[in-house]
Amino acid sequence: MFNKPLLTSPSTPRPLNLHNKIFVMYHTDADNVKPTDECHEVHNVNESDRLVGQLFSSRDQAWYFYKGFVREHGFSTRKGTTRLDVERNVKTQDFCCSKEGFRVSKVNIVDRQRPHTPITRTRCKVRVIITITNTNDQWLISKSYQKDNHALCTPAMTPFMHSNRAVSKADIDEATTLKEVSVGTSQVMNYLTQQAVSYHNVGFTHKDLYNALQRGKAKEIVDGDVNALIAYFDYKKHDDLEFFMTYSVDESGALHNLIWSDSTSRSDYTCFGDIIAFDTTHKDNLYG
């Protein structure tokens, strides 16, 4: 293991109480660790020697192996430069530290209204290079450089680093089922946290879950949001006999007017006699 300072405490945690069980939710970005002067030494030369020469059946297998390696050592990784041969086939692939490189300075730094996001790049040189072999199309770790210039995370914080976070298909399916019965994303996250016993064992953050659910919604409306809406209203007619919907299009075929009502709104109007009319983002979106 690397003999260097570890990130011992994040920003103030917020306790999460779920059915008398206390979980700690950290809002600190585990990848955003400030560099320290003590981290410029070579920590373990044998680490590079242990990596070089290992074979994998695919690039994905090599990627998952190296992600597990860097997780054990308290930092995050990302895919770097890809080199192609004359036939445009991938020849080599770099897996570098997530703090590799540097951020280009912003042009407007005087009248900028929003503050800059924290700088996470430290020009770290840690990387491995995998190369495809001429036999059996296997991938070989040909080079390895394991010398960090930044602090590392404790084992408790490594699950929150970017390369270690992933929402599994099983979690997405379970979250989607709960969303279909009107359970909010925060409540879904709390439920999954309780199932995993600890927030550190979930494997992703609230934002990761939200993004995964949004990507699922985007796939469902491949024919466009308007067509998806009309198809949904047509489906509602089978469940609600009092459901009414009508719409009109303009000369170009774009949606012009749309009105709908269901049994609940009809019942509310009978009882209260009020109508609430609203116009969402009038001339303020991509449709003009």
**Contact call for residues 154 and 7 (beta carbons, < 8 A):** yes
Domain range summary for the chain, segments of one domain joined by +: 48-102+119-163, 165-220, 225-272
Point out which residues pair with 127 in neighbouring strands.
96, 145
**Residue 199: partners with Cβ closer than 8 Å, 6 or more residues away:** 16, 23, 24, 25, 26, 193
User: In a structure prediction context, what are the per-residue pLDDT tens digits for the chain, which is 288 residues long?
Assistant: 444 444 444 443 444 343 333 333 333 345 444 433 333 333 444 566 678 888 898 899 999 899 888 888 888 888 888 999 888 888 999 999 888 888 776 666 667 777 777 777 888 888 899 999 877 778 999 988 888 888 887 777 777 888 778 888 888 888 888 888 888 888 999 888 888 888 778 888 888 888 888 887 777 665 677 877 888 888 888 888 899 999 888 888 788 888 889 998 888 888 888 776 666 665 555 555
**Contact call for residues 186 and 178 (beta carbons, < 8 A):** no
Is the pTM higher than 0.75? The answer reads: no
Comparing CA positions, the residue from 149, 201, 212, 205 lying closest to residue 175 is 212
Hey, CA dihedral for 117, 123, 125, 127, is it positive or negative? positive
**Contact call for residues 82 and 59 (beta carbons, < 8 A):** no
